[in-house]
Structure 1
Amino acid sequence: MNDFMAARSQMALSLGFHIVFSCIGMVMPFFMAVAHFLWLRTGNVNYKNVAKAWSKGVAIFFATGAVSGTVLSFELGLLWPTFMKHAGPIFGMPFSLEGTAFFIEAIALGFFLYGWDKFNRWFHWVTGVVVGVSGIVSGILVVAANSWMNSPSGFDYVNGQYINIDPIKAMFNRGWFSQSLHMTIAAFAATGFAVAGIHALMILRKTNVGFHATSFKIAAIFGVVAALLQPVSGDISAKFVARTQPAKLAAMEAHFNTEKNAALIIGGVPDVKNKQVNYAVKLPGMLSFMIHGTTDSTVKGLDKIPVQNQPPVSVTHYAFQIMVALGMLMMGVGLLYLFAIFKKRDWLTKAWFLKIFVAATPLGFLAVEAGWTVTEVGRQPWIIQGVMRTADAVTPMPGIAYSFYLFTAVYFTLALAVIFLLNRQIKMVPVLYDVEPAKPAHA
C-alpha cells in the first residue's frame, strides 16, 4: 500500500468509525429528552428509567465521539497539509462553531447527568434538550464543511491563489442544506432502528419487558418517521448532485453515455472497460424524469467527463445501490409498523414482528456508511471539487501505511470497549433502576 492510499484509507477508517458515534450523539439526546418529558407529564416511572438509562449511553457515545472526532481534526492537518493550508481559512468557520456547540453540549450533558433530584424538574429537562439541540447543530456544521468540499464557494481561485475569501458564503454554500438535511434524517433513521432493534431483542428474551417496551416504542417511532421522510431528502440531494457534480451522478448510476430518456439502473455490475452495466434492471426514462422532471431531458454521462476526472465507478455505484436498497428495506419495515399501529395492534407483541426489528438493527448505519462512501469516493479525484486534487493535497511524509495499521488497531480496540460498556449497561438495567413489572409492548 503506497502512502497516498494509506492516507485515504486512514481517513476513511476514521470517518467511518466516527460517523456512527456522530449519528448517535446527534439523536440519542432527543430520545432521552422525549422519555424524560413523558415521565414529567405522566409520572410513569418507566419513562424516567428509560431517560436515565439512555443518558448513560449518551455519555458513553459522547466520550467516544469526542475522541474519534479529535483524531479526525488532527488527521486533516497531518495527512492533508496542503488542503488545510488553503482550505482552512475558507471553511474553518463551521469547524470553530462546531467546537462551540460541542462545548455547550458537554456542559449541558454534565448538568443533565448529575442534576437528577437536584434541579427544578423542568430546568433539568431543558438541559437534556440543550444536549440534543447542540448535537444536531454540531453535526450540521461539520456536514456544512464537508458540503463545501463538494460545492466550493466563498473565494475566487485566480492563478493558483485563493482570494476574496468570504467564510459565511463558504459555510452556507449551495450544498449545505441538502446534505445537512439528508444526513440529519439519516442519523434519526439509523439510530432509531438500531435502538429499537436492541430493545426488541430484550423483549424477545423477556427481560424487563416493561422497560424495554417503553424504549422500543420511542425509538421505533423516531426511526420509522425518519425512514419514511428520507426519500424526500434523497431526491433533493440527487437533484443537487446532478446540477453540480455530474461525474458523481454518472458514477452513482453507472451512466456511461450521455443520452435522452436515460434509464434508471437498479443493481447491475458495471463493466467499465466496455462501458456497460450487466445484469441490471433498467427503467427507461426514469433517470431523466427523476433528475429533470421529464423523460425527454438529457442526462450527462461519463463519456462527457475527461477520464482523469472520473471517479471510481464500481465502488460509487455499488455503494449507492446498497444505500438505496437498505433505505427501501427500512421504509418497508416502517410501513409495516404503521399498519400494525393503526390496523393490527396485536402484531406489536408478536415474536415475528419484533424479530423484524432485530434484523433491521444495523440497516441504518450500513446505509449511512454506504452514503458517505458515495459522497467521498464519488468526488474523487478531487478533494475540493474542481479546484484541488486529492493527490496534490496529501502529506509528503513517508510511512503513512504504518500509521494506518496503528489506527486500525486503536479503533478496533475502542469499538470493543464501547460494545463492552453498552452490554454492561444493558445488563445492569434491573440493578440500577426500579423497573416496573413486565407490560406488553405499546400497552
Structure 2
Amino acid sequence: MDDFLAARSQMALSLGFHIIFACIGMVMPFFMAVAHYKWLRTGQQVYKNVTKAWSKGVAIFFATGAVSGTVLSFELGLLWPTFMEHAGPIFGMPFSLEGTAFFIEAIALGFFLYGWDKFNPWFHWFTGVVVGISGLASGILVVAANAWMNSPAGFDYIDGQYLHIDPIEAMFNDAWFSQALHMTLAAFVATGFAVAGVHALMVLKGRNILFHQKAFRIAAIFGTVAAVLQPLSGDISAKDVAKRQPAKLAAMEAHFHTEKSAPLIIGGIVNEEEAQVNYALKIPGLLSWMAHGDSQKAVTGLNQIPKEDHPPVAITHYSFQVMVGLGMLMMLLAFIYFIALLKKKTWLSGKWLYKLFVIAIPMGFIAIEAGWMVTEIGRQPWIIHGVMRTVDAVTPMPGIAYSFYIFTAVYISLSLIVMFLLYRQIKMVSKIYDVHDDELTIKHA
C-alpha cells in the first residue's frame, strides 16, 4: 500500500467510525430530554427510568465521540499538511466554534448526569436540552467545514495564493445548508431506527415490556418523522450538486453521456471502460427533473468532463444506490408505523411490527456510511473542489501504511469496548427494572 492510499484509507477509517459515534451523541440527548419531560409532566416512574438509562448511553457515546473526533483533528494536520496550511485560515472558524459548542455540551452533560435531586427539576431538564442543542450545533459546524471543501468560498485564488479571506462567507458557503440539513436528518433517522430497534428486540424477548415500549415509541417517532422528511432534503442536495459539482452527480448516477430527458438509473452493473451501465432499470426524464426541475433539460455527463477530473464511478454509484435504497425502505416502514398510530392501533401490539424495526437497526447507519462515501469519493480527485487536488495535499512523510494499520487496530478495539459497554448497560437495565402494576419500580438498588 502506497502512502497516498494509506493516508486516504486512514482518514476514511477515522471518519467512518467517528460519524457513527457523533450521530448518536448529537441525537440521543433529544430522546433523553423528551423522556425526562414526560416524567416531569406525568410523574410516571417509567419515564424517569428511561431517561436515566439513556443518559448513560449518551455519556458513553460522548466519550467515544470526543476521542475519535480529537484523533481526526490531529490527522488533518499530520496527513494533509498542505491542505491545512492553505485552508486552515479560511475555514477555521466553524472548527473553532465547534470547539466552543463541544465545551458547552461537556459542561451541560456533567450538570445533567450529576444534577439529579440537586437542581430545580426543570433546570435539570434544561441542562439536558442544552446537551442536545450544543451537540447538534457541533455537528452542523463540522459539516459546514466539509461543505466548504465541496463548495470553496470566502477567498480569492490568485497566482497560487489564497487572498482576501472572508471566514463568514467561507462558513456559510453554497453547500452548507443542503449538507447540514441532509446530515442532521440522517442522524435522526439512523439513531431513531437503531434505538427503536433495540427496544423492540427487548419487547419481543419479553423483558421489562412497559419500559421498552415507552422507549421504543419515543425513538420510533423521531426516526420515522425524519425518514419521511429525508427525501425532501435529498432533493435539495441533488439540485445543489447538479449545479456545483456535475462530475459528482454524473458519478452518483453513472451518467456517462450528456443528454436531454436523462433517465434515472436504478441498480445495474457499472462498466467504466465501456461507459455504460448494464442490467439497470431506467426511468426516462426523471434524472433531468430531479437535477433541474425540468424533465426535458440536459444533464451533464462524464463525457463532457476531463478524464483526469472523473471521480471513481462504480463505488460512488453503488454507494448512492445503497443510501437511497435503504432510505426508501425506512420511509416505507415510517408510513406503516404512522398508519398503526393513526388508524390501526392493533398493529402496535403486533410482533411483526417490532420485528420490522429490529431488521431496520443497522439500516440508517449503513445509509450514513454510504452517503458519506458519496460525498467524499464523489469529490475526488479534489480535496478542495476545483482548487487543490488530494494528491497534492498529502504529507511527504513516509511510513503512513504502518500508521494506518495501528489506527485500524485502535478503532476496532474502541468499537469492541463500546459494544461491550452498551451490552452491559442493556443487561443492567434488564436486571434493575421490573414491571409491577403498569409501573416500573426499582428491583435492585
Alpha-carbon separation, structure 2, partners of 1:401 and 1:337? 47
Contact 1:208 1:438 in 2 (8 A): no
| Superposition deviation, residue 436 in structure 1 | 5.0
Give 2:343's aligned residue. Answer: 343
Deviations 1:203-258 (A, max 9, x none): 00001111111100000000000000000000000000000000000000000000
Say which SS state the counterpart of residue 267 (structure 2) adopts.
Answer: strand
Aligned 1:400-415 pairs, distance under 5 A: 400-415=400-415
Deviations 1:243-276 (A, max 9, x none): 0000000000000000101000001111111111
Alpha-carbon separation, structure 2, partners of 1:433 and 1:262? 57
Give 2:72's aligned residue. Answer: 72
Contact 1:208 1:437 in 2 (8 A): no
Give 2:88's aligned residue. Answer: 88
Contact 1:144 1:172 in 2 (8 A): yes
Q: Which amino acid aligns with 1:99?
A: G
Q: Is 2:56 the partner of 1:56?
A: yes
Q: Which amino acid aligns with 2:113?
A: L
| Superposition deviation, residue 439 in structure 1 | 7.9
Aligned 1:34-433 pairs, distance under 5 A: 34-433=34-433
Contact 2:209 2:435 in 1 (8 A): no
| Superposition deviation, residue 432 in structure 1 | 4.3
Q: Which amino acid aligns with 2:223?
A: G
Alpha-carbon separation, structure 1, partners of 2:296 and 2:22? 41
Give the 3 Å change call, closer, same or farther, for CA 107–434 of structure 1 in structure 2.
farther
TM-score, scaled relative to structure 2: 0.98
| Superposition deviation, residue 50 in structure 1 | 0.5
How many residue pairs align between the two structures? 440
Q: Which amino acid aligns with 1:18?
A: H
Alpha-carbon separation, structure 2, partners of 1:335 and 1:383? 39
Deviations 1:364-402 (A, max 9, x none): 000000000000000000000000000000000111111
Contact 1:258 1:304 in 2 (8 A): yes
Alpha-carbon separation, structure 2, partners of 1:252 and 1:178? 17
Q: Which amino acid aligns with 1:69?
A: G
Q: Which amino acid aligns with 1:6?
A: A
Deviations 1:396-417 (A, max 9, x none): 0111111111000000000000
Q: Which amino acid aligns with 1:378?
A: G
| Superposition deviation, residue 199 in structure 1 | 0.3
Say which SS state the counterpart of residue 383 (structure 2) adopts.
Answer: strand
Give the 3 Å change call, closer, same or farther, for CA 196–439 of structure 1 in structure 2.
farther
Deviations 1:329-348 (A, max 9, x none): 00011011011111221111
| Superposition deviation, residue 431 in structure 1 | 4.2
Give the 3 Å change call, closer, same or farther, for CA 395–345 of structure 1 in structure 2.
same
Alpha-carbon separation, structure 1, partners of 2:351 and 2:78? 51
Say which SS state the counterpart of residue 259 (structure 1) adopts.
Answer: coil
Q: Which amino acid aligns with 1:419?
A: M
| Superposition deviation, residue 429 in structure 1 | 1.1
| Superposition deviation, residue 185 in structure 1 | 0.4
| Superposition deviation, residue 296 in structure 1 | 1.5
Alpha-carbon separation, structure 1, partners of 2:91 and 2:31? 32
Alpha-carbon separation, structure 2, partners of 1:65 and 1:289? 39
Say which SS state the counterpart of residue 118 (structure 2) adopts.
Answer: coil
Say which SS state the counterpart of residue 396 (structure 2) adopts.
Answer: coil
Say which SS state the counterpart of residue 83 (structure 1) adopts.
Answer: helix
Say which SS state the counterpart of residue 277 (structure 1) adopts.
Answer: strand
| Superposition deviation, residue 434 in structure 1 | 6.6
| 4+ residue runs over 3 A deviation | 430-440
Say which SS state the counterpart of residue 398 (structure 1) adopts.
Answer: coil
Which shifted more, 340-349 or 112-121?
340-349
Alpha-carbon separation, structure 2, partners of 1:429 and 1:353? 23
Q: Which amino acid aligns with 2:119?
A: F
Alpha-carbon separation, structure 2, partners of 1:136 and 1:434? 34
Q: Which amino acid aligns with 1:189?
A: V
Unpaired runs of 5+ in structure 2? 441-445
Coordinate RMSD, CA, aligned: 1.1
Deviations 1:283-308 (A, max 9, x none): 01111111112221010000010000
Give 2:443's aligned residue. Answer: none
Contact 1:213 1:439 in 2 (8 A): no
Q: Which amino acid aligns with 2:258?
A: T
Q: Which amino acid aligns with 2:388?
A: M
Identity within the alignment, % = 73
Contact 1:32 1:128 in 2 (8 A): yes
Unpaired runs of 5+ in structure 1? none
